[in-house]
Chains A and B, each alone.
Chain A
Amino acid sequence: MAETHLSPRNIPDRLEGRGARLLKSWESLLLVVACVIFLGNSLASPYFLDPWNLSDATFNFTEKAMIAFAMALVIISGEIDLSVASIIALASTAMGYAVQLGFDTPALVVVGLSVGLLCGTVNGLLITGLGLPSIVVTIGTMSLFRGLSFIILGDQAFTGYPDSFSWFGQGYVWWVFSFEFTLFVILAVAYGVVLHKTNFGRAVYAIGNNQTAALFSGIRVGRVKFMLFLLTGLMAGLASICLTSRLGSTRPSIALGWELEVVTMVVLGGVSILGGSGTIPGVVLAALIMGMVTFGFGLLNVPGIVMSIFIGLLLISVIALPILWRRARRRLAH
């Protein structure tokens, strides 16, 4: 036993090639899982492979995934935003209120996005301006933002959105490709480029790995984090437009509990909850997996709350399994 401690560290002669690394990556594991679920779904239900059915399935994850992209950046930078679902509620309430004042569709979009931005600004100012821990601040704003919708709406609901507004959640750009799915693809590419190909993306990783070192290497840590919270707020506003348009009504309990699903999506996508690592392709695959699982369960008539048990188990096991796997391998190696 004592000898194992003294043995020299096992340093490989050369690093693994690009292909080998890609094969062993979290993303390729996710891809396999996604394929298995896809196959399982198409075997379990004869209706699954219909293109219109698949198009319907995308509505399960597109809105959450929009937020998940921004959330991935926030979590990579070592922070978290638990207020996203409440931002959706507040933005939706503001849009519903604007409808009562007679706003038309373009104005509603502006209202939704600006409320999202405003909420993001509040989070960002509290976290970077006052240097408060993001987890407590966003637990507070989570309660504050949804609380404001409750004050405005009580047990009422806003309805009566203009017909043209319903396009965002129900319209199709071309054939079976909905507006939401198209937006999801565009955002996936945009976030992939920002995170993996720009200075800003490198700064996000740097902050997540070592905030002090990032500061000393000339990265404006506060400003980058502020932008990330702004971005998350904006994405929540965008998701709110899509969701409100799809549902056609606003209640203060809209999108209740979504923060959990968004965080699960990000973590399932291989983003470390401690910050510093993760990729956008991983998050995209995680979104597809979660969407297909919930849709497949829906086809099999599994109630929503049972799906949430599954998501909870998924969240814990995707983090636990690699740890157990590494531990088992280390034991075998000795």
Chain B
Amino acid sequence: MGKLLKNRELLLVGAILVLIALIAWRFPPFIAPTNLARVYNDTSILIILALGQMAVILTRCIDLSMAANLALSGMVAAMLNAAFPGLPIPVVILSAMALGAILGMINGALVWKLDIPPIVVTLGTLTIYRGLIFLLTNGKWINAHQMSDAFKSFPRTDLAGIPVLSWLSLVMVVAIFLVMSRTSLGRAFFAVGGNPHAAVYTGIDVGRTRFFAYCLSGTLAGLSGYLWVSRYAVAYVDIAAGFELDIIAACVIGGISIAGGIGSVPGAVLGALFLGVIKNALPVINISPFAQMAISGMVIIIAVAVNARAERRKGRVILKKAEAV
């Protein structure tokens, strides 16, 4: 039982269930299966982004530029579609992902080759990427009527009763789970964050691993860029402004240690879902949507405090064992 209580993912599942129960008590229709599916769909983009951020945080880095990357890739996807409406949607998606990957590589290369602290790199590229959108568009919007129907309808298309957007996020969750648990790159993410020096001695190139983590987060941000723009059918300079904090919040809530090396895919998904449930519940239980920012701030602080306690306790147990021997 004690072990069960310490299991972070189960604890989070419990917290989310309690949260949903509380909302259902005030507003019963919230727990209708169709509504819960809608909440998941609404959280899909955050889930995809949190998976990328998780890889970066695992390696003791941070990517503050994800939302700006999303906005730039999304804008380019929208511009491609507006200029060449006949371009097949998979091509548009792949180019958004490719651009996202390149932007991620720039972050990764600066961290790897120049040894600049990740927070400085991504604070810098965050403003640069957003500024580039302005330079590309001169501040103009791309509105729904400039986008082709195929471009807008793809994430909404029903597949077996679930929209493509939800399917995509499910596929990404499974894919990243396999990368993390079944590939040497996934192990390397954990090793680099857990102990960079030990990682070097086991033959892992720390800088290169970080570079790949940024490539992954960039690619996922690029994908999310297309999804965001097509879902909301509008692209402008400030889309997803400040969303980088939600992404980090999802990771912190999901138990991913900002000090690196600790975290899991289910944790990141549950962290994102926790925020998604809150975001979707506020309007239906009559709390001003303006309160959302303060609530996510509170949740980040509480989550990081809980994480820190959990990590400290683990350290103590190891010491006790050493004494016993």
Contact = CB atoms under 8 A, between A and B. Distances in A.
Interface in A123-148: 126, 130-133, 135-137, 139-148
Interface in B109-156: 110, 114-117, 119-121, 123-128, 130-132, 134-135, 139
Interface string A304-319: 0110110111011001
Given A132-B304, A142-B297, A263-B123, A147 B292 contact: yes
A139 B117 contact: no
Contacts of A130: 305, 308
The secondary-structure label for the interface of chain B is helix
Contact of B258 (A136, A274, A311): A136
Contacts of B294: 143-144, 147-148, 150-151
A320 interface: yes
B134 A273 contact: no
B297 A145 contact: yes
12 contacts: A136-B252, A139-B248, A139-B300, A140-B304, A141-B297, A143-B297, A147-B293, A147-B296, A257-B127, A305-B139, A309-B132, A315-B123
B196 to A, nearest CB: 14
Contacts of B119: 80, 135, 273
A143 B110 contact: no
B291 A133 contact: no
B300 A140 contact: yes
Contacts of B248: 136, 139
B245 interface: yes
Interface of B: 62, 110, 114-117, 119-121, 123-128, 130-132, 134-135, 139, 237, 245, 248-249, 252, 258-259, 288, 290-298, 300-301, 304-305, 308
B120 A315 contact: yes
B294 to A, nearest CB: 3
B300 A136 contact: yes
A324 interface: yes
A319 B304 contact: no
A40 interface: no
A132 B308 contact: yes
Nearest to A140: B300
A260 B116 CA distance: 16
Nearest to B248: A139
B114 A305 contact: no
Closest 3 CB pairs of A and B: A147-B294, A144-B297, A309-B131
A305 B131 contact: yes
B124 A316 contact: yes
A139 B117 CA distance: 17
Interface of A: 80, 126, 130-133, 135-137, 139-148, 150-151, 154-155, 252, 257, 260, 263-264, 267, 273-274, 303, 305-306, 308-309, 311-313, 315-316, 319-320, 323-324
B136 to A, nearest CB: 11
Given A147-B297, A150-B294, A320-B114, A312 B126 contact: yes
B120 A319 contact: yes
Given A139-B245, A140-B301, A323 B127 contact: no
B255 to A, nearest CB: 13
Given A139-B245, A150-B290, A311-B127, 11 more contacts: A132-B308, A135-B119, A136-B300, A142-B297, A145-B297, A147-B296, A257-B127, A260-B123, A273-B120, A308-B130, A312-B124
B127 A316 contact: no
A209 to B, nearest CB: 16
A304 B314 CA distance: 49
Given A147-B295, A306-B131, A312-B127, A142 B114 contact: no
Contact of A135 (B62, B249, B288): B62
A313 B301 contact: no
A151 B245 CA distance: 18
Contacts of A143: 245, 249, 293-294, 296-297, 300
Contacts of B252: 136
Contact of B291 (A139, A151, A264): A151
Given A126-B305, A137-B301, A150-B293, A320 B116 contact: yes
A309 B135 contact: yes
A151 B114 CA distance: 42
Contacts of A140: 249, 297-298, 300-301, 304
A273 B117 contact: yes
A316 B116 contact: yes
Given A133-B258, A309-B135, A323 B290 contact: no
Contacts of A148: 294
A302 B248 CA distance: 33
Given A130-B305, A135-B62, A309-B132, A316 B125 contact: yes
B289 to A, nearest CB: 9
A133 B128 contact: no
A257 B110 CA distance: 23
A142 B245 contact: yes
A308 B117 contact: no
Contact of B127 (A135, A142, A308): A308
A255 to B, nearest CB: 14
A305 B237 CA distance: 10
Contact of B110 (A308, A311, A320): A320
